[in-house]
Amino acid sequence: MGSKSPRSAAAGKDRPPSAVAELYRYAGTRAPLLTVGCVLSAIAGVMMVLPLVFLWVVVNEFLAPAGGVPDQERVLFAAWMAFGLAVGGFVVYALGLMCTHFAAFRIAGNMRRAMAAHLAKVPLGYFSSSSSGSLRRVIDGCTAQTEDLAAHKLPDFTGALLAPVAFVAVTFWFDWVMGLVCLVPVAVGFLSLGLMLGGGAKRDGQSFMERYQAALVRMSAAATEYVRGVPVMKMFQQTVRSFKVFHAAIVDYRRMATDYVRFCEPAYMVQLVAVNGTFAVLVPAGIVLAAGAANFAAFLSNFIFYVIFSGLTSMLLMKVMYSSETVMMARDAFDRAREVLSTPVMEQPSQAQAAVPTAFDVRLQAVGFTYPGKDDPALSDVSLCVPEGGTVALVGPSGGGKSTLASLVARFWDPAQGTVSIGGIDVRRIPAADLMRIVAFVFQDDRLLKRSIRENVRIGRPQATDAEVHAALQAACCDDIVEKLPQGLDTVVGTKGVYLSGGECQRIALARALLKDAPVVVLDEATAFADPENEAQIQRALARLCAGKTVLMVAHRLSTVTRADQICVLDGGRVVERGTHEGLLAARGRYARMWTDYNQAVTWKIKGGDGHVA
């Protein structure tokens, strides 16, 4: 995620909308269901208070009957009313929850859809810079947090807020002094809640919640990276070291969680003691008031009512308390979603600007590029031309900018300075679908999806016939791979023990690129992971893929670039040398030195049995 977040904006003038406003926005056409659900929940809240009033009527009829003896009819009526209202309250509450659940599912769905749609428009390079673990946490985990707020806590909150209003009305109606006494713990409870939520102070509940959630996201990203790296780390006996990063994220999370609990502890304690300690105020007040009561029986029945009622208060306050925590979590979730949604998108050309190239030479003119969040440019003032049907190779030390340059051709990023064009048309003017059709990009570790081999290859051209898929696989030297698979082309990769080696995956990926038959081919160290057995076949497949195409290739193995029309040596983001293999060797410069080093490296061999290398 980028460093500038809407959360920081929240601290400034343009505060983001509240969590509830966001819920309504994402609910779309189901927004009215949220209101209906909350109204029903509020009605249910009141309906659940009223049975107590009727219970009081029953108790009162026995303790202080108006006519000397309890009125049976009045008792039965009150009992039925209490029962009916209690059951009715539950039914209305369930209906309300049904409405809010319908809205909550739509909200979570709309959030996920909005983020997925936005991510489809961001530069492809964004995904190499962002951890998939933290993205997954935002898209999956955070939306689930809003579901809880919309489905449960918001209606509970409305109900729990309205019920105390009914409670206050009822308490003052019976005996205002006792009513006031009962309200003292309620007031203390709300006050402690207010303290916990804070009023914009640095150490307020929301800022803690943000940091707590950030620690959770970091832990999720570290866990994903850790699991992914397990085989490599085990191979190199680095298990403990690799676990350190994950461990640090866990410790960080533990620290945040402990800090958060410590911060909330006093407020929670006051809150819990207040809401559960109504008796501590009510009983002494009752004793004092009983002494001066004109009608002791009536006072006693009122007192019993308040004793029952105060239990309900604690339940309602607990609901409000849990709602407030969910509001903080949802607010944080919306902030994170906003952060994903604020990632700059790759601008698409308007209809008037759009153009599709008919020639396929690739040209970079005075290109400069700096990765988001970095200070040093990855490329500075780079100009080069790959003529149509020609091959240009990019070589140079690690971190020189080769992959970055290659990625600009397929618009993984847009350059900050200069232009990248195909057939004389700036790639920014080529509609995304056309650009993807024109350029085939082969990475060093092309991934296969967990689908059949046939489907994996067909991604190159979805409308291709079976015969064309077969031909592409044949051209990519994949016959031996398909033959050994249990269901041939229909074998699903990655399941039931069907795994392919790196070189085999690369050949299937090349079949995909061959099927695409794009006029411009970008190869980013396409033979990097090839073992000797696969290398010859990959080279043959590459030769077929590149025949007659405009090729820009990134290579570490200098033996693969000797026949390129031009070789560019990139160092520190600049082209420091360019020419043909022979020309550069004759110049005795940087490339010539790299060539000598390379040849020394590949001719190293084990000397006899003493383990020396020569």
Q: Residue 557 Cβ, how far from ligand ATP at the closest point, in Å?
A: 12
Whichever of 370 and 452 has its CB closer to ligand ATP, that residue is: 370
Starting from the edge strand earliest in sequence, which strands make up the sheet with 391-395, in order? 439-442, 520-524, 550-554, 391-395, 566-571, 574-579
Q: Residue 571 Cβ, how far from ligand ATP at the closest point, in Å?
A: 9
Whichever of 128 and 132 has its CB closer to ligand ATP, that residue is: 128
Q: Give residue 455's Cα distance to chain centre.
A: 28
Q: Residue 529 Cβ, how far from ligand ATP at the closest point, in Å?
A: 13
Whichever of 17 and 373 has its CB closer to ligand ATP, that residue is: 373
Length of the chain: 614
Q: Residue 141 Cβ, how far from ligand ATP at the closest point, in Å?
A: 24
Total site size for ligand ATP, rule CB under 6 A: 13
Q: Residue 277 Cβ, how far from ligand ATP at the closest point, in Å?
A: 56
Whichever of 229 and 349 has its CB closer to ligand ATP, that residue is: 229
Contacts (Cβ under 8 Å, ≥6 apart) of 31: 24, 103
Contacts (Cβ under 8 Å, ≥6 apart) of 190: 317, 320
Residue type present at position 600: Q
Q: Tokens 């985990």 correspond to what residue?
A: 141
Q: Residue 1 Cβ, how far from ligand ATP at the closest point, in Å?
A: 13
Residue 359's region, left for phi above 0, alpha for psi from -120 to 50, else beta, is beta
Whichever of 372 and 589 has its CB closer to ligand ATP, that residue is: 372
Q: Residue 559 Cβ, how far from ligand ATP at the closest point, in Å?
A: 16
The DSSP secondary-structure symbol of 137 reads: I
> Which residues 426-485 are close enough to bind ligand ATP by CB under 6 A?
none
Residue type present at position 566: Q
Q: Tokens 């009916």 correspond to what residue?
A: 84
Q: Does residue 420 sit in helix, strand or coil?
A: strand
Is 343 a residue that touches ligand ATP (CB under 6 A)? no
Buried b (16+ CB within 10 A) or exposed e, 375-400: eebbbbebebebebebbbbbbbeeeb
Do the beta carbons of residue 613 and residue 604 sit within 8 Å? yes
Q: Residue 373 Cβ, how far from ligand ATP at the closest point, in Å?
A: 7
Q: Residue 396 Cβ, how far from ligand ATP at the closest point, in Å?
A: 6
Whichever of 210 and 525 has its CB closer to ligand ATP, that residue is: 525
Whichever of 399 and 583 has its CB closer to ligand ATP, that residue is: 399
The dihedral through the CA atoms of 281, 287, 288, 289 has a sign that is positive
> Which residues 84-143 are close enough to bind ligand ATP by CB under 6 A?
128-129
> Which residues 369-408 are close enough to bind ligand ATP by CB under 6 A?
371, 374, 378, 396, 398-404
Both tokens of residue 349?
A: 């050309």
Whichever of 334 and 595 has its CB closer to ligand ATP, that residue is: 595
CA dist 4 and 218 (Å) reads 16
CA dist 490 and 154 (Å) reads 49
Q: Residue 402 Cβ, how far from ligand ATP at the closest point, in Å?
A: 4
Phi, psi at 155, each rounded to 5°: -65, -35
Phi, psi at 349, each rounded to 5°: -70, 145
Whichever of 109 and 572 has its CB closer to ligand ATP, that residue is: 572
Whichever of 420 and 514 has its CB closer to ligand ATP, that residue is: 420
DSSP state letters, 365-382:
EEEEE--TT-SS-SEEEE
CA dist 192 and 324 (Å) reads 12
Phi, psi at 305, each rounded to 5°: -60, -45
Q: Residue 487 Cβ, how far from ligand ATP at the closest point, in Å?
A: 36
Q: Residue 381 Cβ, how far from ligand ATP at the closest point, in Å?
A: 15
CA dist 538 and 188 (Å) reads 74
Whichever of 403 and 421 has its CB closer to ligand ATP, that residue is: 403
Contacts (Cβ under 8 Å, ≥6 apart) of 22: 16, 146, 330, 334
Whichever of 61 and 525 has its CB closer to ligand ATP, that residue is: 525
> Which residues 274-293 are close enough to bind ligand ATP by CB under 6 A?
none
Both tokens of residue 359?
A: 């020639």
Q: Which residues bind ligand ATP (CB under 6 A)?
A: 128-129, 371, 374, 378, 396, 398-404
